[in-house]
Chain A
Amino acid sequence: MTDAQTDRDSVVKSVSAIKSGPRALRLYMDVCAKCGTCAEVCPVYYGKPEAKYNPANRSDLIRTLFKRHNTLSGKLLGGLAGAKDFDQAEFEAWRDIFYSCTACRRCAQFCPFGIDNSVITRKARTILDGLGRTPATLQRVIKASLETRNTDGASAVAFKAAIAFIEEEMRDEHGVDIKIPVDVVGAEYFYLPPSGDALVNIEATMGVAKVFHVLGMGDKWTMSSHCFDGANYGLFTGNDAQMKAANKACVDEAKRLGVKFLLMGECGHAHRVMKAMMVSGMWWGELPFQVINCMEWTADQIRAGRLQFDKSKNPQSVTYHDPCNFAKSCGIVEAPRVILRAACLDYREMTPSGAENWCCGGGGGLAAMSELREFRMTVSGVKKHEQIKSTGAAFVATACANCKRQLAQLMEHHKARVTVGGVHDMLSRAILVDGKAAERKCYEE
Chain B
Amino acid sequence: MSRTAFLIGGIFPYLAATVFLIGVVSRLRAWRRVPQPGLMTVYPTKGSGMAELAKEALFFPSLFRGDRTLWLLSWSFHVALALALIGHLRVVTALLDRGLATVGVSSSGIAAMSAIAGGGAGIVLLVTVMTLLARRLLVARVREVSTPPDFLALLLLIAVITTGNVMRFGGTHFGLAETRVWAVSLLTFSPVVPANPAFLLHAFFAELTILYVAFSKLMHFGGFFFTVALAKRSQP
Contacting residues, chain B, for A28 (C-beta < 8 A): 227
Q: Are B142 and A27 in contact (CB under 8 A)?
A: no
Instruction: Tell me, yes or no, whether A54 is within 8 Å of chain B by CB.
Output: yes
Contacting residues, chain A, for B177 (C-beta < 8 A): none
Known: A33-B217, A281-B37, A328-B42. A27 touches B226 (CB 8 A): yes
CA distance A31 to B150 in the complex (A): 12
* Stretch of B5-13, B65-73, B89-97, B115-123 lying at the A interface: B65-73
Contacting residues, chain A, for B14 (C-beta < 8 A): none
Q: Are B40 and A24 in contact (CB under 8 A)?
A: yes
Instruction: Tell me, yes or no, whether B31 is within 8 Å of chain A by CB.
Output: yes
Q: Are A34 and B146 in contact (CB under 8 A)?
A: yes
Q: Are B141 and A112 in contact (CB under 8 A)?
A: no
Option from A31, A57, A119, A333 in Cβ contact (under 8 Å) with B145: A57
Contact with B along A30-73 (1 / 0, CB 8 A): 11111111011100010001010010110010000000000111
Contacting residues, chain B, for A331 (C-beta < 8 A): 41, 43-45, 234
Q: Are B62 and A110 in contact (CB under 8 A)?
A: yes
A291 CB, nearest partner CB in chain B, Å: 13
Option from A22, A45, A56, A109 in Cβ contact (under 8 Å) with B36: A22
Q: Are A355 and B224 in contact (CB under 8 A)?
A: no
Q: Are A81 and B149 in contact (CB under 8 A)?
A: yes
Instruction: Tell me, yes or no, whether A441 is within 8 Å of chain B by CB.
Output: no
Contacting residues, chain B, for A20 (C-beta < 8 A): 34
Option from A22, A34, A71, A280 in Cβ contact (under 8 Å) with B150: A34
Contacting residues, chain B, for A329 (C-beta < 8 A): 41-43
Instruction: Tell me, yes or no, whether B38 is within 8 Å of chain A by CB.
Output: yes
Option from B40, B66, B74 in Cβ contact (under 8 Å) with A111: B66
Q: Are A30 and B27 in contact (CB under 8 A)?
A: yes
List the B residue with the shortest CB-CB distance to A36: B142
Instruction: Tell me, yes or no, whether B139 is within 8 Å of chain A by CB.
Output: yes
CA distance A19 to B34 in the complex (A): 8
Instruction: Tell me, yes or no, whether B219 is within 8 Å of chain A by CB.
Output: yes
List the A residue with the shortest CB-CB distance to B229: A114
Q: Are B43 and A330 in contact (CB under 8 A)?
A: yes
Known: A329-B43, A330-B43. A112 touches B148 (CB 8 A): no
Option from A35, A40, A79, A82 in Cβ contact (under 8 Å) with B74: A35
Contacting residues, chain B, for A246 (C-beta < 8 A): none
B76 CB, nearest partner CB in chain A, Å: 14
Contacting residues, chain B, for A313 (C-beta < 8 A): none
Option from A41, A80, A113 in Cβ contact (under 8 Å) with B220: A113
List the A residue with the shortest CB-CB distance to B152: A80
Q: Are B39 and A21 in contact (CB under 8 A)?
A: no
Known: A30-B217, A56-B145, A112-B63. A35 touches B70 (CB 8 A): yes
CA distance A37 to B145 in the complex (A): 11
Instruction: Tell me the dominant secondary structure on chain B's binding face.
Output: helix
Option from A34, A72, A105, A333 in Cβ contact (under 8 Å) with B217: A34
Instruction: Tell me, yes or no, whether A23 is within 8 Å of chain B by CB.
Output: yes
A-B contact count, CB below 8 Å? 174
CA distance A277 to B62 in the complex (A): 24
Q: Are A110 and B147 in contact (CB under 8 A)?
A: no
B130 CB, nearest partner CB in chain A, Å: 16
Q: Are A36 and B141 in contact (CB under 8 A)?
A: yes
Instruction: Tell me, yes or no, whether A152 is within 8 Å of chain B by CB.
Output: no
Instruction: Tell me, yes or no, whether B171 is within 8 Å of chain A by CB.
Output: no
Known: A27-B226, A31-B223. A109 touches B147 (CB 8 A): no
CA distance A110 to B38 in the complex (A): 22
Q: Are A114 and B43 in contact (CB under 8 A)?
A: no
Q: Are A37 and B70 in contact (CB under 8 A)?
A: yes
CA distance A49 to B145 in the complex (A): 12
Contact with B along A73-85 (1 / 0, CB 8 A): 1000001111000
Instruction: Tell me, yes or no, whether B236 is within 8 Å of chain A by CB.
Output: yes
List the A residue with the shortest CB-CB distance to B139: A36
Q: Are A21 and B236 in contact (CB under 8 A)?
A: no
Instruction: Tell me, yes or no, whether A327 is within 8 Å of chain B by CB.
Output: yes
Q: Are A23 and B226 in contact (CB under 8 A)?
A: yes
List the B residue with the shortest CB-CB distance to A64: B147
CA distance A33 to B217 in the complex (A): 6
List the B residue with the shortest CB-CB distance to A31: B223
CA distance A281 to B219 in the complex (A): 29
Known: A36-B70, A114-B228. A22 touches B42 (CB 8 A): no
A300 CB, nearest partner CB in chain B, Å: 19
List the B residue with the shortest CB-CB distance to A63: B147
List the B residue with the shortest CB-CB distance to A112: B63
Q: List 9 A-B contacts (CB under 8 A).
A: A22-B38, A27-B227, A27-B230, A30-B27, A31-B217, A36-B142, A40-B67, A57-B145, A330-B43
**Inter-chain pairs besides A72-B215, A110-B67, A116-B40, 6 sampled, C-beta below 8 Å:** A23-B35, A31-B217, A40-B66, A54-B141, A329-B41, A356-B44
- 5 pairs of A and B residues whose beta carbons are closest in the complex: A110-B66, A114-B231, A31-B223, A281-B38, A23-B36
